[in-house]
Amino acid sequence: MNVYRFINSKDIRAHLQSLRYDFTLPEAAFLVWQCATAPLSEKHAAWRELIKTMPDCRMERRRNMCEIQSMHGFLQEYIELEEKLLRDFHRESDTVYFYSVLLKDEHFPDGFSESEKYERAFPTLSDCLATVKEEICDYGAEDILHVCMKRQLLSEPNHSMTVCLNNRLEVMDIDAFRSPLTEREQELLGAFEGMWFAFPTPFKRGELVCQKHSLKAWRFPQNVCYVLDSITAWTNREMRENGFWRSRSDTQDMDRLHQILLKDGDVTDMSFSAYSVEDGQIIFDNMGWYLSLERFDGTLTGEQRALYPLRDLLSGKIRPDMFLDALRVLRADEEAKNTAGIRENLLYHKDMSYISAENAGKEAGKKEETL
């Protein structure tokens, strides 16, 4: 089976293909689960193929995951549970339905806006779907990022289930954690989120990167570029290979941390550390989901240009004093551009005031001549 197809990042996908990476069954199943572009039907087919073609194994109990005695049995149970949840979603007894549409919208900072936002209640799923189809026709399928449909019980309003669809109305994901679930069903649905894996990546410290997909979030990410510092999956050796100096204290406990994460890490630990620019300030933070990273191949503009000298600093191409000099030049340039706009605005209003005064003088002169 082509496991690579389920890797969201084209750069990580190409890197693992070049290594001819040999996936374990848990790794392959996890990559299918986290894929942001495969509909649920394709994921179920892929898991069934893994059950047929890969030897069974078990997974030890983890901090946020119960022991899995058989991966084959777990995957089969997981598929059957999601199919049951979908049947429940279509059951129209004692229910109302709502929907929300996420649209591409470059006028908003995140690149998307939300329509409807679960505002209207529909007595049947078919009524709700009919309205969704009309909205897709109005906006155009190419501008629809995803549709969320919520089923809520009338007798128990706190119980609801949400299904995420793509612009072809294929089911992408099910959120059933507000539904009445048994303890075993909760364990099954939360199992993948309790896993952690260290997949090889092609990235180096100091590279410009961006995020293409967030974990199980089918929308455009924020238009943000980062300078990569490190990835939690790196060991001491990989830290040194990726631009950290041998004597640096940051690398001392990476092997120990790596072993802890292999044993008890979960998806929230599959993170990366990086620098970004916000409101003119360079921010360093630990962010989620290193599997979403791709190399940034665009051109930075405005205050984001500060990431160029930062990239060169972390890559060892320039000294700290050269980095600071470059920042001063870039900030002066940005300030000049900003003040130029203000200056033009002031001059415009000054000219308009002069023209208004001149016109008023002419009108007064005409009145005097008439008299």
User: Token pair of 153, please?
Assistant: 């019980």
Q: In this predicted structure, what is the pLDDT of residue 351?
A: 53
Higher per-residue confidence, 107 vs 71: 71
Q: Domain total for the chain?
A: 2
Looking at the structure, tell me whether residues 115 and 77 fall in a common domain.
no
Q: In this predicted structure, what is the pLDDT of residue 310?
A: 96
Looking at the structure, tell me whether residues 170 and 119 fall in a common domain.
yes
φ and ψ at residue 74, rounded to 5 degrees: -60, -50
- The reply to whether 264 falls in a domain is no
Please say which residue of 35, 55, 87 terminates a domain: 87
pLDDT band at 240 (very low <50, low <70, confident <90, very high): confident
Please determine, for residue 293, whether its predicted confidence score (pLDDT) is greater than 90. Answer: yes
Among 183-192, 236-245, 263-272, 351-360, whose mean pLDDT is lowest?
351-360
pLDDT tens digit sequence for 109-144: 566 678 888 999 999 999 999 999 999 999 888 888
User: Token pair of 169, please?
Assistant: 């109305």
| Average pLDDT of the segment spanning 1-24 | 97
pLDDT tens digit sequence for 309-321: 999 999 889 999 9
pTM: 0.86
Looking at the structure, tell me whether residues 35 and 67 fall in a common domain.
yes
For residue 364, how far is the Cα from the chain centroid?
65
Please say which residue of 87, 109, 128 terminates a domain: 87
Q: In this predicted structure, what is the pLDDT of residue 220?
A: 45
Domain residues for the domain of 81 are 3-87
Please determine, for residue 338, whether its predicted confidence score (pLDDT) is greater than 90. Answer: no
Give whichever of 178-192, 275-289, 339-353 has the largest mean pLDDT.
178-192
User: 54: which DSSP letter?
Assistant: S
Looking at the structure, tell me whether residues 107 and 163 fall in a common domain.
yes
Please determine, for residue 345, whether its predicted confidence score (pLDDT) is greater than 80. Answer: no
- The reply to whether 147 falls in a domain is yes
- The reply to whether 98 falls in a domain is yes
Looking at the structure, tell me whether residues 73 and 99 fall in a common domain.
no
| Average pLDDT of the segment spanning 57-81 | 98
Looking at the structure, tell me whether residues 80 and 19 fall in a common domain.
yes
User: Token pair of 211, please?
Assistant: 């995020």
Higher per-residue confidence, 347 vs 42: 42
- The reply to whether 334 falls in a domain is no
- The reply to whether 309 falls in a domain is no
Please determine, for residue 342, whether its predicted confidence score (pLDDT) is greater than 80. Answer: no
Q: In this predicted structure, what is the pLDDT of residue 341?
A: 62
- The reply to whether 163 falls in a domain is yes
pLDDT tens digit sequence for 143-198: 888 899 999 999 999 999 999 999 999 999 999 999 999 999 999 999 999 999 99
pLDDT tens digit sequence for 325-336: 999 999 898 888
- The reply to whether 278 falls in a domain is no
pLDDT band at 340 (very low <50, low <70, confident <90, very high): low
Looking at the structure, tell me whether residues 20 and 81 fall in a common domain.
yes
Please say which residue of 26, 55, 87 terminates a domain: 87
Q: How many residues make up the chain in this entry?
A: 371
pLDDT band at 93 (very low <50, low <70, confident <90, very high): very high
- The reply to whether 59 falls in a domain is yes
What span, in angstroms and rounded, lies between the C-alpha atoms of 292 and 165?
A: 20
Name which of 149, 283, 145 is nearest 219 in CA terms.
145
User: What count of other Cβ atoms lies within 10 Å of the Cβ of residue 40?
Assistant: 19
Looking at the structure, tell me whether residues 59 and 126 fall in a common domain.
no
Looking at the structure, tell me whether residues 121 and 72 fall in a common domain.
no
Indicate the Cα dihedral angle 326, 327, 328, 333, nearest 10°: 90
pLDDT band at 359 (very low <50, low <70, confident <90, very high): low
Indicate the Cα dihedral angle 131, 120, 112, 161, nearest 10°: -90
Q: In this predicted structure, what is the pLDDT of residue 53?
A: 98
Task: Using the CB atoms, write b or e for 171-205: b if 16+ within 10 Å.
Answer: bbbbbbeebebeeebebbbebbbbbbbbbebbbeb
